[in-house]
Structure 1
Amino acid sequence: MSGRAGRPGPKPRLSPELIVEAAFRVTERGGAAALSFTALGRELGAHPTAVYRHFRDRDDLMRSLVDALQGEVLAELPENPPEDWAEELRARDMVTHEVFMRHPQIAQEASVRTARLPNEYRIIDQVIGIFRRAGFDDEDTARYYRVFSDFVLAYSAQDAALLALSPETMAGDLGAWQHEYQTLDPDEYPNITAVARHLPALDDPANFALAVDLMLEGLRSRHAATMAARAESEAAVAPGTVES
């Protein structure tokens, strides 16, 4: 395809969707740093300036890649989510993590960028809706949404960043927990050596699952306290019983 750029003859009809698909291929081969309109032109067999008809600049394109990643999350959410609000959050988190692992290069961008595009709006609106249906007031909903969602994105991006390393670097980092950390001097590092044989691998999927469990336990505790306080407040303002 790269040989077509600049040659006479019919040019491929580009669309935002085709450009985004090509951008994913470019980043998955060479990382986010490899993404340029020149590289996209080569990938698409088109002149790089053709990309500018659909995206103003690289940042505009990157936000669309993040939004496409979020669209993939939306497409894979369970059709019949759990009725329990915390379990529904858990189900969404697992899908998010799976999609991030599938696209590690762009996933790192997705954890810190605000796409300001429809798929992002849909995800945020849906998650906020879960907190509101659970019974949290709007102020708590907004705060809990921010902290919980940022946690899920950050943890997923961290796991994605490991996959984005070169094979040699990733093997070295994973191996360190099986070798260096297992052979440290117990006199100098008594706490590490005491638990070293129990330390899970960096890429153990159970790590993310446990982290989500811990976050949800905290939210359930907050929810129980909120509901109890609300019931107590309502009881305090209820009219008294009039005796005959």
Structure 2
Amino acid sequence: MTDRVVPATARQRRRPTKQGVVLSEELIVETAMRLIEEHGAEALSVRRLGRALGADPSSLYRYFRHTDDLMLAVADELIGRTLRSWRPTGDWRADLRDLGLRMHAGALAHPRAAVLSSHRVTGRDHEIQAVETIIGVLRDAGFPDAEAVRIYHAFVDQALAFAALDSASTALPRPAREAEAAVWRATYARLPADTHPHIAATARHLVADMPRSSYPMALDLLLSAAAARLAGIRDGTDT
């Protein structure tokens, strides 16, 4: 794609595509997400998208300037799907934990798209809503503005980092995933105590724990630290 786009008011396609559907930004993003999971980054080509939509590839320029513009829309849609499934309760710590876990689960549901988009800043509607919402949760909890931003930053970066890490693992072919998990049993669990005493002592725990994501634990640690900072702010011991 190139840097040309039709104004929003002129984007609506009046006639159905060859497959009988009317193009929209939502349909293109949904199709792009499906193709990314099937083919990876190569899916974001005008020709492949046009073929999947049954549309002239040039018609995609009515909605997106170039493939990176489409990639940002995909990233924003992943955020939107998380927000649409989340309901706050008023308990800031429980709400952020629930939101973080939903962000992580949403990434694993679309692992290839998450790997490609987790590091992007979209500036689009869903991302703006997420920033507003999370900072609002923190400010309502009593965090001063600067502290709310710092915790927001740590919370989001942690969630996105684990989303990319665990999505990359999920996107591996199954034999590769199984081979990596087996390393903990085949290699680490067999290391002798006289040369590797700490690994040998904890081997059964390594075998049980390491194949799983550590995100829930990391998230709990972050929220515990944030709660401790908030308590310090309230009693005047945190400077």
* TM-score, normalization by structure 1: 0.83
CA RMSD of aligned residues (A): 2.1
Provide the residue aligned with 1:4 in structure 2: none
Which runs of no fewer than 5 residues in structure 1 stay unpaired? 1-8, 234-244
Judge conservation of contact 1:22–1:43 (CA < 8 Å) in 2: yes
Shift in Å, 1:178: 2.4
Q: What's the secondary structure of 1:124's corresponding residue?
A: helix
Matched length: 221
| Aligned residue type for 2:25 | P
Q: Tell me which residue corresponds to 1:50.
A: 59
In the alignment, structure 1 residue 150 sits paired with structure 2 residue 141: no
TM-score when normalising by structure 2: 0.85
Tell me, yes or no, if structure 1 residue 173 matches structure 2 residue 177.
no
Q: Match for residue 37 of structure 2? A: 28
Question: In the TM superposition, what are the counterparts of 1:166-205 in structure 2 within 5 Å?
Answer: 166-199=173-206, 200-204=208-212
Structure 1 distance, partners of 2:111, 2:50, is 23
1:113 aligned to 2:120? yes
Equivalent residue number for residue 141 of structure 2: 134
2:78 maps to which of 69, 76, 100: 69
Query: What are structure 2's unaligned runs of at least 5 residues?
Result: 1-15
- 1:160 corresponds to: 167
Q: CA deviation at 1:176?
A: 1.4
Of 225, 228, 234, 1:227 maps to 234
Share of identical aligned residues, percent?
37
Most deviating of 120-129 and 92-101? 92-101
Does the C-alpha gap of structure 1 residues 10 and 126 become closer, same or farther in structure 2, counting only changes over 3 Å? Answer: closer
Deviation at 1:74, TM superposition (A): 0.9
For 2:26 and 2:84, how far apart are their aligned partners in 1?
16
Contact 1:174 1:201 in 2 (8 A): no
Cα shift at 1:201: 4.2
CA distance in 2, matches of 1:21, 1:51: 13
Rg larger in 1 or in 2? 1
Summarize the alignment of residues 91-110 of structure 1 with structure 2, pairs less than 5 Å apart. Answer: 91-110=98-117
